[in-house]
Structure 1
Amino acid sequence: LVKKDSVPSQIQNAIKDLEINKTYIAGGTNTISKATEANLPNVVERMAGNTRYETSVAIAKSKFGASKEAYIASGEEFADALVISPVSGKYNRPTLLVSTKAANNGPVRSYVKESNISKLTAIGGQRYVPSSIIDGLVK
C-alpha cells in the first residue's frame, strides 16, 4: 500500500528486498498520483475507475475475466474486502465492492450481468452488504 503522493520507506525497502520488478496499480490518479507511479518499478497496468466500485470492476475485468464466481464486499467499510482479497486471488475470483446505496452499484450490476458470473458470495454482515443490494445485482 502506498500513499497518494509517496511510497513509504517500508514499501521501498520491501520492493528492493523482494526484488519486485513490475507493478500493477489499483486506483486512479486521485488515489495514486503520477509522481508516485513514477517511483514504482515498471508499472505494467493501472486499473481504475471514477469510483471505488468502478475500480473493483476494472480489476475484475483485467484479472478475473473468466471467473464464474465473485465475492461481494462493502466499499464503505474496508475490513471485509481486505480480509477476502488473498482468498480472492487464490481462487481466481474478483472481489467486487458495493455500497449500501443501490444507486452507486450500477457499474457492479452491469458487470455481473455482462460477465460469466453465476455465483456471488457476500462477505460481511447485513449492515454493510444487505440482501437487498445482492438481490439488486442479479435482477
Structure 2
Amino acid sequence: LAHTEKHIVITYMKSNDFVKEMRIHYKLNGHAKEEAYEKFLLHLRTLGPVAVGFNNFPNYSLDDFGFHILSPTPIELVRPGFEYNYTKHVALLMRLGIDVEGNEYVELFEISGHNWRDSGFVQLAMHQGLTNFAIEMEI
C-alpha cells in the first residue's frame, strides 16, 4: 500500500469504530535492525492485532496449496523490483512457528480467504527481511 492509501485505511477504520487507534511501523534497513524489528513485531502481536506488509515474490506462486514456508530465491532477494513485477500484500500476523527442520516462520492470515494456500494461512520465512511495515491496531 502506498503511504496515502495506508492513511485512508486508518481513517476509515477509526471513523467506523473498527479500531481505537492504528500505528504504522516501518522497517529500518540493516541486518542487525532486521532481527530487532522481527522481535518488535512479535511483541506487538502480544498487545493486539497486527497486520504486516510483504512482497509477493514470483516463486511464491509455484506452490499455491498446503503448508510451504514462503521464501524468496537468492536471485529474488538481490534483484531490484523493477526487473520483475511482484505484488505487495498485507496480511494479519497470527503466530510464530517452527517447522520440523527447525526453520522459523511467521504465520499470516491472508484476506484471500479459505480458498488460498492453507485455508487462507500462509507461512513466511523469518530472518530474511521480508516484511516491510507493520500496522498495530488498538481495539
Using the size of structure 2 for normalisation, the TM-score is 0.30
Q: Answer 1 or 2: higher relative contact order, Cα 8 Å, separation at least 6.
A: 2
Greater helix percent: which structure?
1
Greater strand percent: which structure?
2
The structure number with the bigger radius of gyration is 1
Using the size of structure 1 for normalisation, the TM-score is 0.30
